[in-house]
Amino acid sequence: MSISPQPLSKKDKIAIVATARKISLEEIKDTIELLERWDLEIVIGKTIGLDNDQFAGNDNQRAEDLQSFLDNKEIKAIFLARGGYGSVRIVEKLDFSIFVKHPKWIIGYSDPTVLLSHIYFKYNIESIHAIMPFNINKNNFQSPAITSLKETLFQEQTHREFPSNKQNREGEVKGDLIGGNLSVLYSLLGSSSFGNTKDKILFIEDLDEYLYHIDRMMQALKRAGKLKNLKGLIVGAFSDMHDNTIPFGKTANEIIFEAVKEYDYPIAFKIPIGHIEEKNIAFVVGRKTSLIIDKENVIIKQ
């Protein structure tokens, strides 16, 4: 069984920290308002507003900021401000020894897949794949992404139901849910941050990639043995895909299916996970999950 941080309660302290691309305090003001509406106390990290080329401060500054919140027992959740690139540059600088004894929610998606995957495979601790402050504004406070995040943070169990898709492969399985951004998972191959996937349910999503890159990454995961012994596969949004002058000839979903078609586990396509902002449904990474796919619906219970 994975280790689950405690659900949040009113008056809990939640930190906002930038581990990748830079972000200003102005860009997270709506997130602060939202969390205050949820009756949470917000602590702003030192990296918010820092500027080091693309990054929210240099590697040491970003690592030290995140480390301070990992070690602070009063902080019950850490909200990663945005994606971009940079979390992989600091993950080996972090000391998780206090965090392991006093686990708390780490929340993010895209580039922060590094951290979500790392704490599961290294320490068997759950985290939340969900919308981040950079994507939050007053116009989407009632969106499925934010509603599902609140539900996930404050409740112990969730039940998600989606319409089925003709590309799906039906079935019913249970396993720990792992995954995140495909490009980031690809970058973790060969490291302890992306371990044994046997009997796991993998979910993947991506943004702004060439179709042949999707194929290359799927083939790499396949050759590394990450796809063979899964219990199931959930395919999220593959947004803003690109093609070459000579077309690749397949969609992202067709590329993914071709890579796993020889395996017999259930597959769900077009689940609202990933770079779709207000529709990016929150899920707990590392939690024992029930995946049910039939002709009518896809049900994901955590």
Q: Which pTM was predicted?
A: 0.97
- 46: buried, middle or exposed (CB in 10 Å: 19+, 13-18, 0-12)? middle
Tell me what pLDDT residue 184 has: 98
Tell me: do 259 and 196 sit in the same domain.
yes
Tell me: do 86 and 37 sit in the same domain.
yes
Q: How many domains does the chain have?
A: 2
220, 264 in Cβ contact below 8 A? no
Phi, psi angle pair for 262, to nearest 5°: -75, -15
Tell me: do 28 and 89 sit in the same domain.
yes
Give the CA angle between residues 287, 289, 291 to the nearest 5°. Answer: 155
Among 131, 154, 177, the domain-final residue is 154
Dihedral sign of CA atoms 115, 116, 121, 124 in order: positive
How far lies 267's CA from each of 36, 106, 139, 252, in Å?
38, 27, 33, 14
H-helix or E-strand spanning residue 75: strand 75-80
> How far apart are the C-alpha atoms of 262 and 268, rounded to whole Å?
16
- The residues near 5 (Cβ < 8 Å, ≥ 6 apart) are 76, 77, 103, 104, 105, 125, 126
Among 118, 137, 154, the domain-final residue is 154
What integer best gives the mean pLDDT of the chain? 97
pLDDT digits (tens, 9 = 90+) for 187-243: 999 999 999 999 999 999 999 999 999 999 999 999 999 999 999 999 999 999 999
Beta bridge partners of 300: 160, 291
Residue 4 falls inside a structural domain: no
Residues of the chain whose pLDDT is less than 50?
A: none
> How far apart are the C-alpha atoms of 28 and 44, rounded to whole Å?
10
Tell me what pLDDT residue 1 has: 87
- Best CA proximity match to 116, nearest among 168, 164, 80, 152: 80
Tell me: do 119 and 243 sit in the same domain.
no
Tell me what pLDDT residue 242 has: 98
- Residue 271 domain boundaries: 159-301
